A and B are shown apart, each in its own frame.
Chain A
């Protein structure tokens, strides 16, 4: 079904400046295929910027971003990536169903695809509601649903579970994991550490630099703690000591 050789994403020495200051300082990492990779780090550390660079909508200063074997932003990638922005990119003056039908038409997805993804994010009951009349969590799920349209090989989700209750979050993470089992690569940003434990791999960012790139088990072991939040804090201390 897909070309399985090589990593899904390969980033080399990526530098990005926004508003005149450098916010990503030469990142290098790879994201394996068919796994859920978590992108974690405090607010303002550069998660969204990195995600935008991967999707190919961010102007980058230097470095290379290769996605599914092509340079990020190549026309060939535009149907292969499902992208959900941090704030809900949904037309407020269209119903949920109209929104999804439109984005499905743009992607050339099958007609029933809109209904399928609405069900996957649990919005069937609200499908006739206008985007502007949805609750915060419903709105972000509608936006997530757009990313699921078609059959993307790579899903790039910027904080898809913010503002959702534990039950819904659980459902969505199950969905992410089942997608990964089918061979889809997912990269999911979050700053909630309990979500980190559900990822196959974690990339921890801080101030535009990679603090750790490991599996959750590897991180716990390295920091000598079972708590990922604790592990993250230790990594920060460790780094501070090294600088000193």
Chain B
């Protein structure tokens, strides 16, 4: 572990994004537009209050999963990863560099969507905005770590993109977005219970519902944080200094 290398890596990733204005615009703009669409498609403030936070839990996860899996796949393909692995950079320097950079992007993304939702779209938030931002950032780091892990199994960018629906859609279907989790068939509820996104979404809903830092919320934050750390460790295991 080397702080200078970690920070240089985070700075490098942010610089890459800075040169790619369109991606940056999409990262922040798409969730905002989707939120606006959701608000007017539902056209019912009470239902929007239930679904809005759910979506806030899903966006950062999906976006960061996708961005990370493609970015790391690209690092493998262009040989920059091989170059880094031949040098003094540690695996966790790279992972934390990614985490810091994408954490910053996720925070920006959530801030914009949240500002929009709380003002124009009239989302009613009982809890603290900061809890929401914290959960969103954790959530995006979870997406990032899983993206990193799965990118190791993608040989091409095309395959990396295909992992998105494979990993993300089942979690989105079962996280309570479409049907509340406790009304699903038992086996589906079990599946939903072992999917980290379910807890991220629950934490968002909990924050929207009540001003207290409830036991459920604490548990959710711990589960999401724990899964993030676990995925980062798994991600580190897929980074190899020697390859075939």
List residues of A whose CB falls within 8 A of some B CB: 18-19, 55-59, 73, 75, 78-79, 81, 83, 85, 87-95, 98, 102-103, 105-108, 130, 146
Contact = CB atoms under 8 A, between A and B. Distances in A.
Nearest to B85: A57
A89 B16 contact: no
B19 A130 contact: yes
Given A91-B12, A102-B11, A105-B8, 12 more contacts: A56-B241, A57-B86, A58-B242, A75-B88, A79-B88, A88-B79, A89-B78, A89-B83, A94-B16, A102-B8, A106-B84, A106-B88
Contacts of B242: 56-59, 73
B16 A57 contact: no
A55 B8 contact: no
A89 B82 contact: yes
Contact of A92 (B4, B9, B78, B82): B78
B87 A94 contact: no
A83 B83 contact: yes
A78 B88 contact: yes
Contacts of A81: 86
9 contacts: A56-B242, A83-B83, A93-B19, A94-B16, A102-B8, A102-B15, A106-B8, A107-B87, A108-B88
B16 A90 contact: no
B210 interface: no
Contacts, number: 82
Nearest to B87: A78
Given A93-B19, A106-B5, A106-B88, A146 B244 contact: no
A55 B79 CA distance: 14
Contact of A57 (B8, B9, B243): B243
A79 B84 CA distance: 11
A95 B79 CA distance: 17
Contacts of A79: 87-88
A57 B88 CA distance: 13
A73 B244 contact: no
A156 B214 CA distance: 58
A106 B243 contact: no
A92 B244 CA distance: 25
Contacts of B12: 91, 94, 98, 102
A181 B8 CA distance: 33
B156 interface: no
Contacts of B84: 106
A94 B15 contact: yes
B124 to A, nearest CB: 41
Nearest to B89: A106
B20 interface: yes
B11 to A, nearest CB: 8
A58 B243 contact: yes
A103 B79 CA distance: 13
Given A73-B241, A106-B88, A91 B8 contact: no
B88 A146 contact: no
> Shortest 8 CB-CB distances between A and B: which pairs?
A89-B79, A105-B8, A89-B83, A102-B12, A78-B88, A85-B79, A93-B16, A59-B242
Given A78-B87, A108-B4, A90 B80 contact: yes
A130 B18 CA distance: 12
Contact of B86 (A56, A94, A130): A56
A146 B83 CA distance: 9
A33 B86 CA distance: 21
A94 B17 CA distance: 9
A225 B61 CA distance: 67
Interface string B1-38: 00011001101100110011000000000000000000
A202 to B, nearest CB: 25
A74 B244 CA distance: 18
A227 to B, nearest CB: 34
A87 B78 contact: yes
A108 B2 CA distance: 10
A58 to B, nearest CB: 6
Contacts of B15: 94, 98, 102
